[in-house]
Structures are given as structure tokens and as C-alpha cells.
Structure 1
């Protein structure tokens, strides 16, 4: 780590030994603490009681830790919580469904005067081998395959629900403590550059970037969905925006965009989980909630952010002066603005698919995710 610090031209103080356990080797400190501690601003306009930090390549060490922890938590959520619960619930639903069918068949048989056939060992099938596919306690190969698919899909959606349930409130906390407004986002550019970073802002940024990198790894590890390349493009552009805005001190607009992107993302995996459990009505309600939140955050508020970013051309002077934290040139500005517009185009394509699902709900066919649920 000392060699890395020297190679990257960081002072020894970039390693945050003050907030690390005394027994931890210095080489591992950047993997468990926020690096590059620095003096706070004279008059901070946010998080006045927080520690403050600079930005540096050592921050990728902590992101590696975040990605490793997320991988462990995802597998723990999937294998220890989601899969056992889904298997129990779906097996219970299947048995209840078979019992209801048998009861209905028995009632119809009595109504028609048809005598019941039975033997001492249960009803025989056409082969006379005692196997009864309609028995409540028997799972056919087709049912087992369908059950396994539903359990797998249910468990895959568990980790996003857990992550966003924690991260969205944290993002709201960060946003609430910044002097910015969601409805008047021009504030995110006021007094640029915003440097150094308060501890919660830096932690939020690194955690979110690590999450999207982790999602790219998952996207390429699982079976490919119909919108694989749209998802890949979306994640790669998002990571580029996050890393670039982090090092170029555009963090306040970045915090706002990340919050807007996250708010609706908790509802779609929740709707999918309800669908895999067979809870169609709740699934449809959750999907409609997702659709409304998506439209508001990603096509109303997000477009306001794009409009404000366009106005930055006339507000913030285009200066390249790293010594003062200024990283805004014509080329950088156009690059960021183009990526924001590209994200909006991808989201509009997805919204068209979402509207198709909404039509299915209204027409009584139920929510089926045409965006990403089926494999190719």
C-alpha cells in the first residue's frame, strides 16, 4: 500500500489511519475507511459536524470492499432467506390448489352421481403403478420445473429490495442535509465546486458506484434477459457519470440523480416477487405504484435536472483549474450532458414497455414484465 500511495503521488495522510483500528495493518486501512481526510471548509453549508474528505484513486479500495460485501449479502439473502421462503410458500400454494381441485372434482362427481373409485393404496394412473399426478403431496416433473424457476426468479429479486429499502432512506437523508431542492435543482450547481466532501456524501457516492459495478457483474453472470444490452448500456453510462462527477466535483447533482433513479427501483422487484408468489392482485397494485413513481422521478424530475444542466452552460464558468477544484470545460460539459440525454432515451424505451404492461393490467390480463423478466 505504501508503494501504491507513492505511485499515485498521495501524501501519507491520504491513508486514514486515525479512523482505523490500531491493530489493522496500514496496507488494509483504505479498504475499510474513507481515504484522503482533509480539513473541513471554513463555513460548510452542509453537514457542519461531519468529517471531510478529498477524492482520490485510493477510494477504489473501499469500493472493492463494498462489492465483496454486497456479493456475500446477496448470496445470503438469496440462499438463506428468499429461496427457503419462496419454496415453502409456493409448495404450500401448489398443495392448496390441488386440494381445491380434488374437492371440486369430488363435489362434481357426487352431483353427477358418479361413484368414486379407490383402492387400498390410492388411485391408479393409466399404467397402474400407483402414481397419481393430482395427489396433493405429489409434484410432477413439470410442476417441479415451474416451481424451481419461480423460486430462482423470486430469490434474484430479493437483494435489490433489501438494498433499496436501506439505500433510498439514506439517499433522502443525504439530500435533506444538502442545500438543494428537488423541484428547483439549479441549487445543485450553486457555489461550484463543491469540495471537499462531507463523510456521508462520500460514503453514499462510493456505495452507489460499487452497487452499480456489482450489478454489471450480476448482469453478466445470470441468464441473459431480453433487454440485456439496454441494461448494460444503462449501467455503464451511469457508472461513467458517477465516477466522472465524483472526481470533477459535480457531486450534488450526482446525489440528486442517484436518489431519483433509486426511488422507483424498489417497487419493480417487489412487484416481481409478488408475481412469483402468485399474488396477482398485489402484484398489479405494486406495478401501478412503480409505474407512477417511474414517470414522476425519471420523466418529470429527471427532465428538470437535464434542463438545469443545459442552463449550467450560462451559469457556471467553463474553467479548468484543478488547483481550485474547477473541472468544467466545453468537452466535459457536452460529454456529461450527452450521457444524461442518452439515459433519458433508454428510460423512454423502457417506459414504452412499462405502458404495455399497464395495458395488460387494465385489460385484466395481469402484469407481465416485458422489459426484463423472460430469458431470450
Structure 2
């Protein structure tokens, strides 16, 4: 099995430039180089992250949400309807019109009551505001600490200021302990996000999130094996620069702190556009596409690594589109309406009935009747008021 992996998966021609083999990157007492088997340790570390997240949300995030004034929405309880529950759990959470008619006849209720039942049932499965706050708080804590750690790792390195230094002596570049732990922590965190994505708050970009996590894991893993450590740490720092601001803005949004949320949204939008749409393509992708070619000839890893960077950049453009949509609403409405990716609660039946009733009362067909009734009531009251004076 090991010989098959060495021949097909870990073959040096896939991961290293021409003329370089794994024997050239053997670690010694004086020099430590990245090894593919080091990535296995990220899996148990991801389980540690999941446990830490559970403890953090229970003992820190939940009390913090109460302290910041997070208020839950009142959700109407769903009456037990076995026939409707069976359809909801097995067939569809949002049945079509002909299915609603059949269910209404089966249960002996109106179609509107069936719609209200399914609407309230969907709201029950949606995560609470406290759960969303806890998730945002956990990500904020990690991204902030990761960004600070990345700055400590990179600020004193020459390749942080001059990206040509990323390829000086490549691939025989010694792996520093700070770089090793930076990689393992980031890789374990994204593994934990991927393992828990089905339990986290689902948003409109659910598929894009899965693609992002998978692409990030492949990117981190491949850059580690191919010893793209220097440019890889820069990529991780660029991504962490705006993520913690976004999660902090979400926390303020869930807590109802509108001004703080709006201000942080502006800061996040600026930092995101600068880092993801300017620095990432102009600095990072340029040095991986062109500066690296001054040191070695293109090989499979070169094309694969840059392909993953292009996938990330496509996701950046997609998210930038959502952010700009929110920015337009902010400019014209004066506040951030909501996260374009969020899955918000649906209004219950009573609110919809109230809106329908208010619309019907304000419609032209009913204005005449309502005016006559109100005018008649006013005239009668006026007559009653005048009677004592006439007597």
C-alpha cells in the first residue's frame, strides 16, 4: 500500500519542481522540512477544536449574548399533526399547492391553516438568534487570534515585505516552528468547520461554503507538502484580515446594536475589497504565477496550486457581489438590512393575516364602505352630542 501511495499520490513529480525529490527535503538535526504525513495530525486537532467550541459557546458566548442583550423571537408552537409531520420529515418542508389541498382535505382544515403549520414548523427548525450569536462569537475569537498570530509570524520575515523572497532557495526552505503551528491550527480549524457544517447555521451560500472549505483544506495541505509555506502564510493572513471584522459585525447585529453593526460593516466592506480583490490577486496570485517562474519550471503542483487560488478568487468575487448589494442598501436605506446569506425566520400566520387584513382595509374596493360606516358613526355621535344642547 505504501509503495502504491508513493508511486501515485506522493510521487515527487506531482509535488516538487523538476529535478527535486523527497530525498532532497529530508529533515535533519539542523534543518526541518515539511512532510506530507504531518497533515494527519490536523484531524485529531479538529476534534479538539469542536470540543473547545462547545465549551466556549456554553461558558463564554451564551453569557456574553445575554450581557449584550440578545433577544429571542417568539415562535408559535406547532400543534401535533401526524399527517403533516410525516410529509414535513419525509417528503418536503414546503409542499406545493396541490399537495396542500390534499393535506387540507385529509386533516379537515383549510389550506391557509396548513400553510401556517408548515411555516411555523420550518421556523422551529431554524437556529435561534442565540445560536447564531454563539457561532459568530466563536469564529470572531478564532479569526482574531489567528490574525494576531499571523502578524507575529510574518512581520519580521523578509518575504512579507518583498514577495520575491518567497521563492529564494525554493524548495529547500527550512520549516520554522511558528510556521508549522500556524499551518496545523488553520488546517484543523477548517476541518472542524467542514465536519460541523451540517449542524451550523445554514445560509444561502451553503454550497459555496462547502466549496470554500474544501478548496481551503486542499490549498493548505498542498502548499504544505510542496513547501509553499512562505506564500501560504501570507494567503492565510490575507483571509483572516477581514473575517474577524465580519463576525464581530454579526454579533452586534444579533444583539441589536445597529450603529456599531453599521460602522463595522463599512470597515469590513473596505477591508474585504482591499484584501480579497486587490492584494490577493495583485500581490499573492501575481507572485505565484510569475515570480515563481524565475526560480523553477512549471510542474503539476504549480498548475494545481494556482487553480485552487483561482477558485478562491471566484468565491471572493461572489461574496463581494453580496457585500456590494448590502452596501447599496446601506447607502439608500441608511442601515444594513441583513446578511444577504442569512436564512431568516418566516412570519407566522397571525402577522400575515394582519397584513392581509390591513391591505384589504386600505384597498379601493373597501374604502367606500369603510368611509360610509365611519361617517355614519361620526354623524350619529354628533347627533347624540347635540341632543343635550338642543334640549
TM-score (norm 1): 0.66
Which residue is equivalent to 2:135? 156
Q: 1:375 to 1:216 in 2, by over 3 A?
A: farther
Which residue is equivalent to 1:345? 314
Which residue is equivalent to 2:261? 283
TM-fit CA distance, 1:330: 2.6
Aligned pairs for 1:56-205 within 5 A: 56-87=35-66, 89-90=68-69, 149-182=128-161, 184-205=162-183
1:40 correspondence with 2:18: no
Which residue is equivalent to 1:55? 34
Task: For 1:146 and 1:343, locate their aligned partners in 2 and report how far apart those are by CA, in whole Å.
Answer: 31
CA deviation profile, 1:84-105 (whole Å, cap 9, x unmatched): 33245437899xxxxxxxxxxx
Aligned-CA RMSD value: 3.2
Task: For 2:61 and 2:309, locate their aligned partners in 1 and report how far apart those are by CA, in whole Å.
Answer: 35
Larger Rg computed on CA atoms: 2
Task: For 2:299 and 2:140, locate their aligned partners in 1 and report how far apart those are by CA, in whole Å.
Answer: 39
Which residue is equivalent to 2:187? 209
Q: 1:314 to 1:63 in 2, by over 3 A?
A: closer
RCO higher in 1 or 2 (8 Å CA, sep ≥ 6)?
Answer: 2
TM-fit CA distance, 1:164: 1.5
Which residue is equivalent to 1:126? none
Structure 2: give runs of 5+ residues left out of the alignment.
Answer: 7-25, 74-119, 346-391
TM-fit CA distance, 1:269: 0.8
CA contact (8 A) 2:159 2:165 kept: yes
CA deviation profile, 1:263-285 (whole Å, cap 9, x unmatched): 10001110011001000110010
Q: 1:166 to 1:38 in 2, by over 3 A?
A: farther
Q: 1:358 to 1:92 in 2, by over 3 A?
A: closer
Structure 1: give runs of 5+ residues left out of the alignment.
Answer: 10-35, 42-52, 95-140, 319-328
CA contact (8 A) 2:144 2:240 kept: no
TM-fit CA distance, 1:216: 1.0
1:222 pairs with one of 175, 200, 203: 200
TM-fit CA distance, 1:371: 4.1
TM-fit CA distance, 1:190: 2.1
1:242 pairs with one of 220, 223, 242: 220
CA contact (8 A) 2:71 2:129 kept: no
1:251 correspondence with 2:229: yes
CA contact (8 A) 2:140 2:247 kept: yes
CA contact (8 A) 1:194 1:252 kept: no
TM-fit CA distance, 1:294: 0.6
Which residue is equivalent to 2:248? 270
Tell me the number of residue pairs that the alignment of Structure 1 and Structure 2 aligns: 278
SS in 1 for 2:342: coil
Task: For 1:214 and 1:208, locate their aligned partners in 2 and report how far apart those are by CA, in whole Å.
Answer: 10
SS in 1 for 2:215: helix
TM-fit CA distance, 1:300: 1.1
Task: For 2:293 and 2:127, locate their aligned partners in 1 and report how far apart those are by CA, in whole Å.
Answer: 57
Task: For 2:337 and 2:157, locate their aligned partners in 1 and report how far apart those are by CA, in whole Å.
Answer: 39
